[in-house]
Homo-oligomer: A and B are copies of this chain.
Amino acid sequence: MARYEQIAGDLRDAIVRGDYAIGAQLPSEAELALRYSAARGTVRQAVALLAAEGLVGSRQGARRIVLGSERSQSFAELHSFAQWARSMGYRASGTVLSSRRRPCSPSEAVRLSLEPGEEVLGVLRLRRLDGEPVLVERTVYAGWIAPAVERLDPECESVTQELYESVGLVFAYGEHLIDAVAAGSEDARLLEVRRGSPLLRQRRVTTTQEGRPVECSDDRYRAGSVTFSIRNSTAANPLVRRAGE
């Protein structure tokens, strides 16, 4: 682990532990550099990490201040339902309800960088949290990864982890669109809610380290089961609002 990650981890622990209250000042960069016997640049890398996590804020000329004390989770936990659930202490399960190959639609071709009509694998999965159905996933996998997906256990807990272990696939980048929709009849039946009731929808496209698209998905959460959380600042602006459809 890099020196700056160690320093960031040390400071993060102190913040989470409450050594620095919310609103309190962090030591100056000079003092931290002295304390950790590191160059100022290294200390700056460390605090930049904490700033990106939304834990601390900064202004030129003034000491850094603590903004929050909750640990944010990793990309993997955003991407993988199972990994997120496990980190939160829930027991996740899931079932593949259908899985079949078909030619891709024009919009899927664009999102997955495929040739029009190239074969894709469509999978419908129901996910449960502590036994309760909370999520319907409609995922479309690019043809080149389809065989590995079809080999998975239909009750497989973490698709992300299994694909890593079986073929070394790593999800590295994701784009996510979040909005609210009314439950369709299939959604309603699977999630055990009334038709037309509110669902939180997350549409995403995920790519490998090389920038090659792997899958796109339409995930629908039962209202009240999951909340997305984000911290931002004038310096960091990860979330964006979009109009209409």
Contact = CB atoms under 8 A, between A and B. Distances in A.
The interface centre, meaning the residue of A74, A231, A239 with most chain B CB atoms within 10 A of its CB, is A239
A196 to B, nearest CB: 7
Interface in A206-222: 207, 209-212, 221
Given A233-B75, A243-B225, A54 B211 contact: no
A230 B238 contact: yes
Contact of A228 (B23, B181, B209, B241): B241
Interface stretch (A61-69, A98-106, A151-159): A61-69
A29 to B, nearest CB: 16
Contacts of A129: 243
A227 B238 CA distance: 14
B173 A231 contact: yes
A88 interface: yes
B226 A200 contact: no
A232 B75 contact: yes
Interface stretch (A6-14, A30-38, A76-84, A136-144): A76-84
A197 interface: yes
Q: How many copies does the complex hold?
A: 2
A116 B226 CA distance: 29
Contacts of A239: 78, 176, 228-230, 238-239
B73 A241 contact: yes
Contact of A243 (B67, B90, B236): B90
A182 interface: yes
A238 B232 contact: yes
B88 A211 contact: no
17 contacts: A78-B239, A177-B228, A178-B178, A178-B227, A178-B230, A180-B199, A180-B201, A182-B198, A196-B196, A197-B198, A224-B245, A225-B244, A226-B242, A227-B245, A229-B239, A229-B240, A236-B238
Interface of A: 22-23, 52-54, 57, 59, 65-68, 72-78, 84, 88, 90, 113, 129, 170-182, 196-201, 207, 209-212, 221, 223-245
Given A67-B207, A228-B239, 16 more contacts: A57-B209, A65-B210, A67-B173, A75-B236, A77-B241, A78-B232, A172-B233, A176-B229, A179-B228, A180-B201, A182-B198, A224-B244, A227-B244, A229-B240, A236-B238, A238-B239
